[in-house]
Amino acid sequence: MRMFKFAAALAVGLAGAAFAGPASAQQAEKPKLTLGVGGKPLLYYLPLTIAERKGFFKDEGLDVSINDFGGGAKSLQALIGGSIDVVTGAYEHTIRMQAKGQDIVAVIELGRFPGIVLVARKDRPIKSVKDLKGAKIGVTAPGSSTNFFVDFLLSREGLKPEDVAFIGVGGGASAVAQMKRGEIDAMSNLDPVITKLEDDGDVTILADSRTEAGNQKIFGGENPAAVLYLKRDFVEQNPVTTQKLVNAFYRALVWLKTATPEDVAAVVPEEYLLGDRALYLNAVKNSLPVYSRTGFIPEAGMKNALGMLVAFDPELKAANIDLNKTFDGSFVAKAEKLSK
């Protein structure tokens, strides 16, 4: 691991030494590919930005075009439709699509906690989740993980998704603006959006999944969040390409283990800071516990994710889900081996 950290600190030409070896030297079957993401500036997807900006994809011989959609549900639709090759998105999509007969598999965990926070405007009479009935709730996109998070919390209070109105607000400055203008009563979103609203004193937190304690309270433990997922037939037809993608993301996770908020701010595009560097540093500090330490999804986490979905989704209650088919850890195991 010491060798890996040393190599990662070198110039781009030497950075790939951490993954030197037969598998890394193989030619990717599909070196040029398109990756979908739903709200790239969100800290939920920080490992993707790190892999891109630190040149980890290029080190693997990959030319990755990133298509940023308004939310995770749109990325999933693009994958199913065939307009993109891979997605960084929420793990629960692998479960939901299995119930619909679509074989989608995650190959590396990027986030061990969702990092999603449900907030309400301070000037609204909403002090808890049960007060949300009839409220307009902003989510990154309808059908996204931020939407599922609220659905689950509503179900625990005996409420249904139909008891509220969901509005897509994205995951950037627009989401902040809509909350500040009072166009929505509450919002389920991620950092840096949430930290901006917190620091400005605009919102009250109703549920927070950025910390281990928060996840224990909400889910009873870890709940895998961002992953890299693909169609299984893509993985089978492009195993070297898949391995190279996982190698790049694994390096990003290792980098994040020791990165400071200042390190992160120095790597991401300037516009991600929302014009307020101090705010962004605080948001990164709040979100650093979210990222996966190993890249592996624990069995308990998979079960928590399924339990969350079953709580509010009748289709999943009736489905026979094989969680073993939702995650293939063999590529992470190889990336870990290559990094030593």
CATH numeric code, 2-113+223-338 = 3.40.190.10
**What pLDDT was estimated at residue 171?**
84
Whether 203 contacts 119, CB under 8 Å: yes
pLDDT above 50 (res 1): no
With tokens 């997922």, the residue in question is 229
- Residue 329: pLDDT band with limits 50, 70, 90: very high
CATH number of 117-208: 3.40.190.10
- Concatenate the DSSP letters of all residues of 217-262 into one string: HHHSS----EEEEEEHHHHHH-HHHHHHHHHHHHHHHHHHHH--HH
The DSSP bridge partners found for residue 111 are: 291
What residues does CATH 3.40.190.10 cover in the chain? 2-113+223-338, 117-208
The band of 69, judged by pLDDT with boundaries at 50, 70 and 90, is confident
Kindly state the greatest CA–CA separation across the chain: 61
Task: Count Cβ atoms below 10 Å from residue 310 Cβ, excluding itself.
Answer: 18
Of 87, 121, 104, 115, the closest CA to residue 228 belongs to: 87
pTM attached to this predicted model: 0.86
198, 222, 196: which is closest to 210 by C-alpha?
222
Residue whose C-alpha is closest to residue 99's, from 306, 320, 263, 297: 320
Give the residue with greater pLDDT, 36 vs 7. 36
